[in-house]
Structure 1
Amino acid sequence: MSSTVKSPNQKSNGFLWAVIAVVVIAAVVIGYIIISGQSKSKVEFEGQVEPVAMSQQIDDEAFKLTAEDSAKTDDKTPKVEIYEDFLCPHCAELAVADKDQLKDAIEAGDMDVAIRTMSFMDRGNEDGQSHHILAAVYAVGESGDAELYWNYRQYLLEHQQDIYQQWGDEELADLAEQMGAGDDVVSNIRDGKFTDEARQFGKDNEDRLRATDDGVSSPRIFVDGEEIQLSSDWVEKVRR
């Protein structure tokens, strides 16, 4: 009987294939991790979209909110203007404080509200985050979906600290999608379709305040053309 002694340097096909298999598996795993990391959204909307009984439209550089039943309002209904910026901390505080009262007053026809959003917190950077948020909100407002607008605006203000310098068009689109926005609204946000309109929208509202004694700042509230003092119960003081 004879036997063959292999050289220590002689290559083994079995070993080579084993190495190739390990490399391929590692590449697949790494690729999966990378793709999963890229596709995973920062947005995890786990709340409920709150139903509303109001109408919403964009008019005169404002998001106008009125009672769904127009018969509830008349010439004596207070006309309220709210100036805000989505990156303004005090605007976020106000949105939390007056959320329920403001919604109730609008739905009851006790006030018509014009929300005049600005982007001055970007300090002149027209590609800043506040501009991108306003463009996203503008896309939502263009749809005329009052329920989506109300919930979207409220979420962005209430979660301002989590969103600040973290979210871009992708995340803003993801939030709208998770809130039930139509495909066209979601794609308009993701593509930044209303960037130019939003830029002019914010500038026009800033110009309105620039002509006042206190200049551009937020939040500021005007009732029938007269500015009021801010307080957590301002809605109850103003509604009829």
Structure 2
Amino acid sequence: MNRTPRRWLTALTSVAALSLVLSGCASVGDSAEPDAPEEDAAGQEEQDQPDQADQDDAAQDGDDDGDLGAVPSAATEHGGFVLSSPTELEPGTAPDEVDLEDLPSSEEPGVPSGLRPPEEGEPLHVVIYSDPSCPHCADFEEEYGDFLEDELDEGTITVEYRTMTFVDEQNSPEASNAFSCMAEESPEDYLPYLNEVTQSFGEGLSPEDLAEIAADDYGADISNCIEDGTYLDFAEYTTEVAGEDQIPGTPTVYAGEEEWDGTEDFDEWAEEQLAEHAD
């Protein structure tokens, strides 16, 4: 998993890496004013909120009747993809069409939709809200990608990535679309491709770059899917669902219904959750 991206330009220091994980990227649910971070109760910086006009413009990009375009076959109704192993995606649960006016809602206040405590004998379900243009998400993948792959390989967890697109209004949707293209065309390469592209956050990868990485590194031809923007509407849907669930930033990570608060290493925290589940 821990493949060094060919286009990775600068390495984060350990101090910077910790800062990135603790602070995170801004999301639609944050109320802080731009460029005015404040300390929250846990001593972490608040995130900047994207301009409301940008959010309104994004919402208007969908079809007038609310119906969106193509939905990847492995997608969930919450806008994610669930990995049952490093090379396998679970069958999708999303409808053939999704509607921005009819978003799934959480059954439990304060817990995002689709989260669930594991039944006895089931793997722990980990949900990761990420943005391919978020430097903090790049650091998360760099720090914990191998751990997630190992646990997936051992069958102790399933991992659902829900890719948001608020950090960069052009690059984030294009990369999210490419992730969906890979999930559809070559699901066995979805995880390493997501990992590599996310770690290349600082380079502003073009659609041509995204297609080239898929072809050169994974032998997958997703160029037409990328060029056509086949799943751009689905990328918007995922972000809208996350906004409805008031996700405060990325990376935001849950195990079962418990949220990682970033005050300890994720792998250590996840092992604690696994131990509690085993008990």
If the TM-score is normalised by the length of the shorter chain, which range does it land in? 0.5 to 0.7
Q: Secondary structure at the match of 1:193?
A: coil
Q: 2:74 aligns with which of 37, 52, 57?
A: 57
Match of 2:216 in 1: 178
Alignment of 1:24-173 (within 5 A): 57-60=74-77, 61-67=79-85, 75-122=121-168, 125=169, 128-143=170-185, 145-146=187-188, 148-161=189-202, 163-164=203-204, 167-173=205-211
How far off is 1:57 after superposition? 3.5
Shift of 1:181: 4.0
Match of 1:201 among 218, 238, 261: 238
SS of the equivalent of 2:249 reads coil
Alignment size in residue pairs: 173
Aligned mates of 1:93, 1:155 — CA distance in 2 = 11
Which whole-Å deviations, capped at 9, do the CAs of 1:90-133 have from their partners, x for residues lacking one? Answer: 111111111111100011111111111101213xx4xx211111
Q: Secondary structure at the match of 1:121?
A: coil
SS in 2 for 1:59: coil
What TM-score does the superposition give when structure 1 sets the normalisation length?
A: 0.63
Q: Distance in 2 between matches of 1:89 and 1:97?
A: 12
Distance 1:63 1:74 in 2: 23
For the 8 Å contact 2:130–2:251, the answer to whether it is kept is: yes
**Aligned residues of 1:57 and 1:144 also touching (Cα < 8 A):** no
Pair 1:119–1:156, CA change in 2 (3 A) = same
Which runs of 5 or more structure 1 residues have no equivalent in the other structure?
A: 1-42, 46-55
Checking the alignment, whether the CA contact within 8 Å between 1:62 and 1:114 is kept in structure 2 is yes
What residue in structure 1 maps to residue 273 of structure 2? 238
Paired-residue identity, %: 24
Tell me if structure 1 keeps the 8 A contact 2:182–2:220: no
Normalised by the length of structure 2, the TM-score is 0.55
- Residue ranges of structure 2 left out of the alignment (5+ in a row): 8-72, 91-118
- Distance change in 2, residues 1:232/1:173 (3 Å): same
Shift of residue 77 of structure 1?
Answer: 1.7
Structure showing greater radius of gyration is 1
Q: Where has structure 1 moved over 4 Å in runs of 4 or more?
A: none
Taking the aligned partners of 1:144 and 1:175, their CA distance within structure 2 comes to 13
1:105, 1:239 within 8 Å by CA — same for their partners in 2?
no
